[in-house]
Amino acid sequence: MSALAMTLSALLAGGQMHDMANMPGMQMRARPKPAAAPHKRPARRAAPASHAQSMPGMDMTAPAAACPPEHAAMGHCKPATPTPAAEASAAPCPPEHAAMGHCTPAAKPAADVPATPAGTDQPAGDAPPPAAPTTRAAARFYDPAAMAQADRTMRDMHGGMRFSQVTFNLAEAQVQRGRDGYRWDGEGWFGGDIHRLVVKTEGEGGFGDRVDAAEVQALYARALDPYWNLQAGVRQDLGAGARRTYAVVGIEGLAPYWFDVEGALFLSDEGEVLVRGEAWYDQRITQRAILQPRVELNLAAQDMPDSRIGAGLSSAEFGVRLRYELRREFAPYVGVSWERRYGATARYARSDGERTGGIALALGARAWF
């Protein structure tokens, strides 16, 4: 049996033997070669490639201490410094990776877990719905009454504030042949965006003489929309003529193409009815020079001998004024004004020795504050 075992071992060793002569570092005695042809030089035999050069994908020049990330991930080596894979493993576990079993998400801290369901995260049942959330985060901490008061204050500051303005659209001296005089037309208001108290006044007279005609109106104005106001109140006539008290209903606003328009209906304490309409337009020539054409019409439903007014169209006035704004609040102007009386009103004027109309040079200033 020992002889048979030795024979098998020798056969196996012989089948596994390599050509040791071709291995680097091994000096083997060369075998005798047959004699070569006298005129031919034998070709040199190429040395076989080594195992490191013949195996693809193997780089034996890399240092042995290097541990690639893929080898470290398979447990073949241990890197000297933390690899990106190791750092990724220490990072939070995304939900999509946890779903594929690549990592285990960290347990949620107990402080982050709500003690009771919030909002719509409620169990099924017939319990009352939770309170609707509001846009005011402070309402979670402050008393509802205090929040309501703060809300009213905020609304007053952003749209409910009170303002005021006084404007004199006309404040001028009129120079005309035979008689020079003066004229004014202005208004002031106080209130907010919706409700206002409006006071209007206008009149005219001659220099060195008493005021021929004057009136004052006290009106309540309510905004109908961003451009128009409805007005109602009382009017009191002053001056040399008959003194009447009127109930007033009117409208004032900004018409298309930026025309300022005013219209009013007057009912006197004697049952007399008057109508007035006026409009003007500010044509800006430069940033400071503005041309303003203006028209005014007055009508009466009946003859009013005490007030020297006839039925129908009683008077009409058209003027053009060019002003220059030294400041936005103050602008001197120069212009011309043409006025005409009609019907019974003209007859009353002629009987009183007055003119029925004419052209006047207007010198004045427009101001507001």
Using 50 as the pLDDT threshold, list the residues of the chain that sit under it. Answer: 1, 11-13, 15-26, 30, 46-64, 88-89
Using alpha carbons only, give the angle 182, 187, 191 rounded to the nearest 5 degrees.
165
Q: What is the average pLDDT score of the chain?
A: 81
**The pTM is what?**
0.60
**Number of neighbours of residue 296 by Cβ within 10 angstroms:** 19
How far apart CA 236 and CA 242 sit, in angstroms, is: 11
**Burial environment of residue 261 by CB neighbours within 10 A (0 to 12, 13 to 18, 19 or more):** middle
Angle at 185 between CA 182 and CA 186, to 5 degrees: 135
Predicted confidence (pLDDT) per residue in 89-126, tens digit: 455 788 777 778 778 777 665 555 556 666 667 778 78
Going by C-alpha positions, the residue among 200, 171, 191, 160 that lies closest to residue 331 is 171
| 60 phi, psi to nearest 5 deg | -80, -5
Q: Following DSSP, what letter does each residue of 239-256 receive, concatenated?
A: ESS---EEEEEEEEEEET
- The residues facing 358 across adjacent strands are 339
Question: Looking at domain 163-368, does it have CATH number 2.40.160.40?
Answer: yes
pLDDT of 15: 47
Cα gap 275→268, rounded to integer Å = 11
pLDDT value of residue 90? 53
- Cα–Cα distances in angstroms (integers) from residue 248 to residues 138, 216, 232, 235, 251, in the given order: 48, 11, 5, 7, 10
Q: What's the pLDDT score for residue 98?
A: 78
The per-residue pLDDT for 36 is 52
Q: Locate the domains of the chain by residue range.
A: 163-368
